[in-house]
């Protein structure tokens, strides 16, 4: 089940309307509706606000790799971190995110079915993206850039940004970001 479906399921179970969730989270009803239908993605800080409103830990929305003691992650051991229906597959590139600052991921961004509006977002932290395969269109602070294999982006995440794959082939990229909002030192990994 993707993040949007989990949000909708919890929201309905708790009797919270989209309007109320929008007001409490400071997100528009239109955006939340698109999110619940799997038409857009959400920044981690916004998802944290929703998790708090719905009274669950952020990790509720993700299927995490098992916390392991070994330091080496073999390519054949990579686990899917998150699947955004119809848009991307995220693989965790760490054996253990506990007490780590960086969140390393391998992302396979699938071609978009149409040129839907890309909704930029911002959050705290820092991001590094390295294009491995394909052509990524990235939006940073209102500007659009095409980035190619071997190109990289390193930026503060507090500027508006988002990305899209407007080609007919998969885009593969390495993404490393901070902060690590996926693991809370005071909570169990699977709460």
DSSP letter at 58 equals: G
| pLDDT confidence of residue 65 | 53
Confidence of residue 23 (pLDDT cuts 50, 70, 90): very high
Summarize pLDDT for 83-98 with one digit per residue, the tens: 665 678 888 888 887 7
**Cα dist. 173→17, 54, 126 in Å?**
37, 32, 16
Q: Residue 184: pLDDT above 60?
A: no
3-61: CATH architecture: Orthogonal Bundle (1.10)
- CATH class for the region spanning 75-178: mainly beta
The bridge status of strand 136-140 relative to strand 161-164 is: antiparallel
Q: Give residue 189's pLDDT.
A: 35
20, containing H or E segment: helix 18-25
- For residue 75, what pLDDT is reported? 85
Asked whether the predicted pLDDT for residue 62 surpasses 70, the reply is no
pLDDT at 39: 83
Mean pLDDT to the nearest integer, 17-23 = 93
HEC assignment per residue over 101-170: CCEEEEEEECCCCCCCCCCCECCCCEEEEEEEECCEEEEECCEEEEECCCCEEEEECCCCEEEECCCCCC
pLDDT recorded at residue 167: 93
pLDDT at 10 over 60: yes
Least confident of 7-16, 45-54, 73-82: 73-82
Q: What is the overall mean pLDDT for the chain? A: 84
pLDDT value at position 191?
A: 32
Nearest CA-CA partner of 114 in 168, 34, 37: 168
pLDDT at 45 (0 to 100)? 73
DSSP 40: S
Cα–Cα distance for residue pair 175/180, rounded to 1 Å: 13
Domain ranges of the chain: 3-61, 75-178
Q: Which helix (H) or strand (E) holds 91?
A: strand 88-92
- What percentage of the chain reaches a pLDDT higher than 90? 45
């Amino acid at each position: 089940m993707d993040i949007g479906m989990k949000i909708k399921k919890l929201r309905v179970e708790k009797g919270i309307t989209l309007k109320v969730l929008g007001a409490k989270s400071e997100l528009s009803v239109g955006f939340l509706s698109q999110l619940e239908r799997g038409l857009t993605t959400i920044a981690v800080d916004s998802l944290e606000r929703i998790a708090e409103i719905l009274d669950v830990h952020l990790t509720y929305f993700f299927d995490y790799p098992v916390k392991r003691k070994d330091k080496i992650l073999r390519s054949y051991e990579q686990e899917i971190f998150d699947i955004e229906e119809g848009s991307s597959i995220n693989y965790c590139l760490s054996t253990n995110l506990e007490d780590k600052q960086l969140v390393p991921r391998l992302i396979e961004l699938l071609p978009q079915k149409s040129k839907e509006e890309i909704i930029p977002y911002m959050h705290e932290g820092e991001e590094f993206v390295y294009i491995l395969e394909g052509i990524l269109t990235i939006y940073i602070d209102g500007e659009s850039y095409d980035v190619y294999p071997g190109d990289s982006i390193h930026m503060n995440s507090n500027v508006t940004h988002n990305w899209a794959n407007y080609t007919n082939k998969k885009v593969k990229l390495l993404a490393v970001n901070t902060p690590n909002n996926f693991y809370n030192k005071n909570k169990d990994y699977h709460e």
